[in-house]
Amino acid sequence: MTTLLVLGPAGSGKTTLVRALWQHVKNVSKYPNVIACNLDPGTEDTSKWDIDVRDLFTVQRIMRKYALGPNGAITKAYELLANSTEVLFGTEEQDTSNLRIIDAPGQLEPLIFSETGNQLLDSMRALFNDMTAVFLLPGDVVNRPTDYAFLLMTLTGLHLKIHVPVIHVISKADLLDPASSDYISDGYLLKKRIVEENAGQMTDFALHSADLMEQLLPRIHVVKIAITKEKQEGLDSLLDLIDETKCSCGDLT
């Protein structure tokens, strides 16, 4: 049994990846019972999901019921969700799937900084002792070295908080400049590009971030994924890396 929690900044391609991987995996015999779950109560996505949090509540309904704005409603949704994970997913005995792919909401702040976000992560870890997080770093953001360093810091904080293996995915890899590939795993080059980019006050922060990352970066496995109308790339590499997380010899950290 494997549970993938797909996380990333708003618009980073989470839903696109979850649905493409779901379709792709149905053809891979080792995961005959794959299910896709929508955990985003705010999405207006109209596709069919095996499990959908909107069957329990939506951001719109929470906003009305508790007189909250959209971000307050997301935080409230995490609180409600933390107490409903078993209702939503069923118990382990009821669940016959061998791969669950979960699409998380794009708002990372309530997950990282709120008490209810902590509760939700606790309750998901308790329900899914096989959970692996997949964190998306979108290619167009990676193209800007300063923002890439900033996003890596966010990801590292999340990694330390979430207490599960984290797979790094460069999403929208079709948008990645060839020159960006050089510094994705190389802290020294990343710092050089940050200085060249000269993004004002962010430069010093990004340089410190890259300093902290320098030892870590070469050891992080990164999968590049592109899902466009024309092509789908990287899904098999992602599945291989997921298998590696199951293997005790896999060094993902």
Ligand X SMILES: Nc1nc2c(ncn2[C@@H]2O[C@H](COP(=O)(O)OP(=O)(O)OP(=O)(O)O)[C@@H](O)[C@H]2O)c(=O)[nH]1
> Which residues of the chain form contacts with Mg ion (CB under 5 A)?
14-15
Q: Which of 168, 233, 245 is nearest to 21 (CA)?
A: 233
CA-CA distance, 234 to 168, in Å (whole number)?
Answer: 12
CA-CA distance, 216 to 27, in Å (whole number)?
Answer: 35
Q: Is the dihedral of CA 7, 8, 13, 17 positive or negative?
A: negative
Nearest distance, CB of residue 204 and Mg ion, angstroms: 33
Nearest distance, CB of residue 187 and Mg ion, angstroms: 31
By CB under 6 A, is residue 54 in contact with ligand X? no
By CB under 6 A, is residue 195 in contact with ligand X? no
In this structure, which amino acid lies at residue 162? I
Segment near ligand X (CB under 6 A); pick from 30-38, 49-57, 122-130, 221-229? 221-229
By CB under 6 A, is residue 15 in contact with ligand X? yes
Helix (H, G, I), strand (E, B) or coil at 168: strand
Q: Give bridge partners of residue 35 from the DSSP assignment.
A: 100
Residue nearest to Mg ion (CB): 15
In total, the chain counts a number of residues equal to: 253
Among residues 14, 76, 100, 224, the one that binds ligand X under rule CB under 6 A? 14
CB 32 within 8 A of CB 162: no
Nearer to ligand X, 81 or 194 (CB): 81
Segment near ligand X (CB under 6 A); pick from 5-13, 29-37, 150-158, 210-218? 5-13
Nearer to Mg ion, 15 or 180 (CB): 15
CB 39 within 8 A of CB 14: no
By CB under 6 A, is residue 175 in contact with ligand X? yes
Nearest distance, CB of residue 214 and ligand X, angstroms: 28
